[in-house]
Amino acid sequence: MKRVLAAALFVATAGAAIAGGWPHYVAPHRAWSIAYPPGAHVDEAYVNETMGPDHTIHGVAFRVPQRFTRGTNLGDDSALSVEHLPGINCKPSQFVDPAEDARIVAADGRRYRTAHSEDAGAGNRYETTIFVVDGTCTAVRYFLHYSSIENYDPGTVRAFDRDAVLAQFDRVRASLKLAR
């Protein structure tokens, strides 16, 4: 949990240089844009329903490229998403429940209100880290879904490279540009 949040502190702030050569996504309403890695699947119909059916959060998800999931225990629904709620000055608890280890983090030339949440069931693990851009209701969500490596016969599946996935998510988040 703290590794995800600590990683955010060391991300370079030059978004254009970080995401050089990557495709760019511009939100239909042009409120934001972001660069994403080749091979990532863009899901413009993404809706987060983890807060319950009466609290859906719309956004755009960028699912991890297959190079991170193929032959590993990482689920192909793992993604970084950009989400927005009406209002200003949102808190992480409006995007994730429970919002554990809430704090303010400076990264990418801005401040984020962050929190982390974990869940497990039937041999699966779910980790969410939310980064709410301070003073807005725009958030970047890191979602990792993976199965317990112990559930596999030895040698059939390798553990996913958490550091590489989180570094990729950090690079994507660093490229986020909000319209003023």
Q: At residue 11, does pLDDT exceed 60?
A: no
Q: What are phi and psi of 20, to 5 degrees?
A: -55, 130
The residue ranges of DSSP E strands in the chain, in sequence order, are 24-26, 32-35, 41-43, 47-48, 57-63, 79-84, 100-107, 110-121, 124-133, 138-147, 177-178
Domain total of the chain: 1
Model pTM? 0.88
Residue 172's pLDDT is 98
Cα 148 from chain centroid (whole Å): 20
Among all chains, which residue has been given the structure tokens 């991170």? Answer: 68
- CATH number for position 138: 3.40.1000.10
Residue 19's pLDDT is 55
| Cα–Cα distance, 133 to 106 (Å, whole number) | 10
Confidence grade of residue 13 (pLDDT, cut at 50, 70, 90) = very low
Reported as a single tens digit per residue, the pLDDT across 136-156 is: 999 999 999 999 999 999 999
Residue 30's pLDDT is 87
Confidence grade of residue 39 (pLDDT, cut at 50, 70, 90) = very high
| Cα–Cα distance, 101 to 114 (Å, whole number) | 8
Q: At residue 118, does pLDDT exceed 80?
A: yes
Percent of the chain exceeding pLDDT 90 equals 84
CB 139 within 8 A of CB 83: yes
Structural domain for 118, as ranges: 2-178
| Cα–Cα distance, 170 to 31 (Å, whole number) | 20
